[in-house]
């Protein structure tokens, strides 16, 4: 008999709301790496372990239609950053999928995410007895790649709108966050494409066979 606990139903949230200043303002989530848009790579990795998938973006929703996930916009004005995108995902889950107690977030510019991301985040949360979990690689935390209880959405809303909080790690630390660690060799699974140079490096890793 399998003794591993079953992963709770979880909404996969792809954060595509960044302004991409280092990419000249272009929508980097649609940048093709290894012949596929970045966001498609993220969707395909998260889909098997997600009960449902949504995209957070303040751009025209039509550009994401072919990825078959609803697009949710920030409810907090002024582009306050990834915490607003996480709140948008929590709100969507509460309204449209109330049976989902957790949201797993990941940025749209991370082409090499591990296939076991969501189960490992849940396992870390359970082992530590904390409500939140985030990913880490090579000893470095990636707070935006994390697991969030839908029950914290009103607290997050207050932090954003009343306190002006913007740091993901600061909010997570208030409630207790476990860390799920991955090796960063031969390829860091949480490599981000933030610049044209990053895009070239990601393409080279795929062409060399080091990454898929």
Query: pLDDT per residue over 90-131, tens digit each?
Result: 999 999 999 999 999 999 999 999 999 999 999 999 999 999
Mean pLDDT for 60-85 is 84
Residue 31 lies in a domain: yes
Closest by CA to 15, choosing from 72, 65, 68, is 72
**Alpha carbon distance 100, 94 (integer Å):** 8
On whether the CB atoms of residues 127 and 178 are closer than 8 A, the answer is yes
Percent of the chain at pLDDT > 70 equals: 92
Query: pLDDT per residue over 53-63, tens digit each?
Result: 999 998 876 77
CATH number for the domain spanning 73: value is: 3.90.550.10
Q: With 80 as the cut, is the pLDDT of residue 5 above it?
A: no
Q: By three-state DSSP, how is residue 93 classified?
A: helix
Query: What is the average pLDDT value for the chain, to the nearest integer?
Result: 91
On whether the CB atoms of residues 165 and 127 are closer than 8 A, the answer is no
Domain count, the chain: 1
Residue 1 lies in a domain: no
Q: Which domain holds residue 28?
A: 10-208
Which pTM value belongs to this model? 0.93
Residue 16 lies in a domain: yes
Examine residue 35 and say whether the peptide bond preceding it is cis (omega within 30 degrees of 0): no
Residue 2 lies in a domain: no
């Amino acid at each position: 008999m399998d003794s591993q606990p079953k992963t709770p139903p979880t909404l996969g949230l792809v954060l595509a709301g960044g302004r991409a200043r280092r990419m000249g303002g272009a929508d980097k989530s649609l940048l093709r790496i290894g012949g596929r848009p970045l966001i498609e790579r993220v969707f395909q990795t998260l889909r098997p372990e997600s009960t449902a998938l949504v995209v957070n973006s303040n751009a025209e929703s039509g550009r994401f239609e072919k990825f078959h996930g609803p697009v949710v916009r920030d409810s907090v004005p002024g582009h306050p950053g990834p915490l607003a995108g996480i709140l948008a995902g929590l709100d969507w889950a509460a309204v449209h999928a109330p049976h989902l107690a957790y949201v797993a977030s990941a940025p749209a510019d991370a082409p090499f995410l591990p296939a076991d991301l969501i189960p490992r985040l849940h396992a870390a949360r359970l082992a530590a007895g904390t409500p939140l979990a985030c990913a880490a690689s090579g000893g470095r935390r990636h707070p935006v790649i994390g697991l969030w209880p839908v029950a914290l959405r009103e607290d997050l809303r207050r932090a954003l709108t009343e306190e002006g909080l913007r740091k993901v790690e600061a909010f997570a630390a208030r409630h207790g966050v476990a860390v799920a660690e991955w090796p960063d060799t031969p390829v860091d699974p949480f490599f981000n494409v933030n610049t044209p140079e990053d895009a070239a490096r990601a393409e080279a890793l795929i062409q060399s066979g080091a990454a898929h």
